Structure 1
Amino acid sequence: MAEDNKIALLIDCDNVSHRSVEGVIDELSKYGKVNIRNAYGNWKSENMKGWEEKLHPHAIKPIQQFAYTTGKNATDAAMIIDAMDLLYTQKLDAFALMTSDSDFTPLVMRILANGITVYGFGEKKTPGAFVRACSQFIYTENLEPLDDEEEKPQEKGGTKKSRSELKQDATLVKLLRTAVEQAADEDGWSHLGRIGQYISNKTSFSPVNYGYKKLGDLIRAIDLFEIKMRHDNSVMYIKDSRK
């Protein structure tokens, strides 16, 4: 069961904003329990004040890293060492790396080689190599509160892209159409779950980056597919409108 999955969240506090951490944990809760929550950085730095306020409310363990040498990132090294330790000492179902640093790309690939899912969370400045390496990647700006009142978690979420904006995204349109085609049964209809599985095996795509919580919501919004509900209106099936 997905709710039994054990997830380790490792946060690079030097390269990502504290404002999205609640949204990140909420998102990960869809896939399992975040048993390990470590945040890395130099906690004597003034830049960490925002992160300090997030530790206790979200049961996050601070890991102190001093900047021993100018130009060298001790935080990166500590995260990588801990990730490898966890990989071999804990029975984890997934890792979540919260960072905007592409230096973690080899780590992602190493974890994936062990058959373990890697969820990535980073700002929109995150290099494409890291984004593409992750099993799924979500831009943290889409998980931040819509205003400065961070105590209102129900108001989190990125701006939804309009139907016209979605249709103009050629990469998105191609991905969805290909997934629907590849997942189709003999009658030409595709089960939403199989579509999602195909996409997750192929790319780091997440509907959250487009402002939608679920893949089905995004498919409805883009309005390029026929939709049919089956099995007492509980299961969505999709067909390309062009066929």
Structure 2
Amino acid sequence: MNGDDERIALFLDYENLAIGAREGLGVAPFDIGPVADALAERGRVVARRAYADWSSFDEDRRLLAKAQVELIDIPQRLGGSRKNAADIKMAVDAIELAYERGFITTFAIGTGDSDFTPLVHKLRALDKRVIGIGVQSSTSALLPPACDEFLFYDRLPGVEPSAEPRRGRGRARQPATPPAPPVLAPPAPADEVLPVEEAATSTRPDSDVGTLVARTLAGLQRHTDGPVLASRLKRAILRKDPTFDEADHGFRGFGELLRNLESRHVVELVEGIAKGDPQVTFPEDGSADDDAFRLLVDVVAGLQAPGAGPQLSGLKDQLRKRVPDFSEKRHGFNSFLSFTRAAQARGLVTMDWDDGAGDYRLRVPA
């Protein structure tokens, strides 16, 4: 085990997350895959626990078991408060683990409930880093400022909100943080939605190894300081997919794989401190990125009509009609929306929200 990696304990207030995702995003059952991937980019998850009355989450229970999550059952009792029982049990277990497992450096607390703010303060007082995770529409405004880092589930790569959130029974939360404006969570293109069974686990093999490497590298660059060395990149890939083996893709070693990706302008290698462990980054010349952005501009220009540009939803399909293997992830972007925003930041396209269509409309500036 490398000493530079954070050791993370994940605690999920599952009812809060599942109900928040269902009612706020239309996502059901709750997909833990994006959470697991986000934490894999930050360190090694050594404990995963989820707390709920599992008689109410039968399908979720099976998916979480596949994701190697320990399920802590808090059955509902007559005359008792199930909410308080689950919250107290989770808080007690977290503090107990903080004292018993000194090697754990980070606690990831999945909830939007402000009741857990004292727990966050206590863990930080014990010199533990705390990462909060919650659905934006059901997260209290008091919780994010208490954490060292807070991940809104809505914004994690791989989370695709449904156009019509589903309502159902379950304990309600008071969302002190108002829902984000449409710019933060537009309807996702249909071609990016993962099947439930595929999305439920963090070990999703990627059909294109270049896409897997680029996506992981982008995540490490966003969330870590300093250069990303090849050894660190491979550890992060293995945390996402423990079955990863470069030999399955025709390479004798990870260095050979990286050199191949460098020749394809996916990554760039710079000599590192240690011999045989180069620094990995994205190419500075951006030639491959330029080709991808040029494709986007050409497609948008061909589809736009006077006064109205094409909608974001379905636009990726149009790009794939030109280039069948197009993937924004190969260029380090976690979603097609991020890719189009990068094009907007470069002044290549404009993006305006259309309330009537419930989607972005893109145009090529005159």
- TM-score interval, normalised by the smaller of the two chains: 0.5 to 0.7
2:53 paired residue number: 42
Q: How far is the alpha carbon of 1:152 from its aligned partner?
A: 4.7
SS in 1 for 2:47: strand
Which of 97, 116, 121 is the equivalent residue of 1:86?
97
Residues 143-189 of structure 1 deviation map (CA, whole Å, 9 limit, x = unaligned) = 32453623455xx9xxxxxxxxxxxxxxxxxxxxxxxxxxxxxxxxx
TM-score by length of 1: 0.59
Which of 163, 181, 195 is the equivalent residue of 1:149?
195
Corresponding position: 1:8 with 2:17: no
In the alignment, the residues of structure 2 paired with residue 133 and residue 221 of structure 1 have an alpha-carbon distance, to the nearest angstrom, of 34
Distance 1:152 1:56, change over 3 A: closer
In the alignment, the residues of structure 1 paired with residue 87 and residue 344 of structure 2 have an alpha-carbon distance, to the nearest angstrom, of 39
TM-score by length of 2: 0.41
2:76 paired residue number: 67
2:87 paired residue number: 76
- Unaligned runs of 5+ residues in structure 2 are 19-28, 161-191, 203-223, 227-332, 347-366
Distance 1:19 1:3, change over 3 A: farther
- Conserved? CA contact 2:53–2:76, under 8 Å: yes
- Conserved? CA contact 1:2–1:31, under 8 Å: no
Q: How far is the alpha carbon of 1:81 from its aligned partner?
A: 0.4
Corresponding position: 1:26 with 2:37: yes
SS in 2 for 1:19: coil
Corresponding position: 1:101 with 2:80: no
Q: Which amino acid aligns with 1:86?
A: L
Residues 75-112 of structure 1 deviation map (CA, whole Å, 9 limit, x = unaligned) = 10010000010010002110001112111011001111
In the alignment, the residues of structure 2 paired with residue 151 and residue 3 of structure 1 have an alpha-carbon distance, to the nearest angstrom, of 33
Corresponding position: 1:52 with 2:61: yes
- Conserved? CA contact 2:9–2:108, under 8 Å: yes
1:133 paired residue number: 146
In the alignment, the residues of structure 2 paired with residue 71 and residue 57 of structure 1 have an alpha-carbon distance, to the nearest angstrom, of 25
Q: How far is the alpha carbon of 1:14 from its aligned partner?
A: 1.3
- Conserved? CA contact 2:32–2:64, under 8 Å: no
SS in 2 for 1:50: helix
SS in 2 for 1:128: coil
Corresponding position: 1:112 with 2:121: no
- Unaligned runs of 5+ residues in structure 1 are 157-191, 195-211, 225-243
- Conserved? CA contact 2:63–2:197, under 8 Å: no
Q: How far is the alpha carbon of 1:73 from its aligned partner?
A: 1.9
Q: How far is the alpha carbon of 1:223 from its aligned partner?
A: 5.0
SS in 2 for 1:100: coil
In the alignment, the residues of structure 2 paired with residue 71 and residue 55 of structure 1 have an alpha-carbon distance, to the nearest angstrom, of 21
Q: How far is the alpha carbon of 1:56 from its aligned partner?
A: 2.3
Alignment of 1:144-183 (within 5 A): 144-145=159-160, 147=193, 149-153=195-199
In the alignment, the residues of structure 2 paired with residue 107 and residue 221 of structure 1 have an alpha-carbon distance, to the nearest angstrom, of 41
In the alignment, the residues of structure 1 paired with residue 83 and residue 68 of structure 2 have an alpha-carbon distance, to the nearest angstrom, of 29
In the alignment, the residues of structure 1 paired with residue 196 and residue 82 of structure 2 have an alpha-carbon distance, to the nearest angstrom, of 34
Q: How far is the alpha carbon of 1:31 from its aligned partner?
A: 1.4
Residues 11-33 of structure 1 deviation map (CA, whole Å, 9 limit, x = unaligned) = 11110025231110110001111
2:236 paired residue number: none
- Conserved? CA contact 2:75–2:82, under 8 Å: no
Q: How far is the alpha carbon of 1:139 from its aligned partner?
A: 1.3
- Conserved? CA contact 2:8–2:104, under 8 Å: yes
Give the CA RMSD over aligned residues.
3.2
Distance 1:106 1:21, change over 3 A: same
1:122 paired residue number: 134
In the alignment, the residues of structure 2 paired with residue 65 and residue 71 of structure 1 have an alpha-carbon distance, to the nearest angstrom, of 7
- Conserved? CA contact 2:16–2:111, under 8 Å: yes
- Conserved? CA contact 1:119–1:135, under 8 Å: yes
Distance 1:14 1:152, change over 3 A: closer
Bigger radius of gyration, 1 or 2? 2
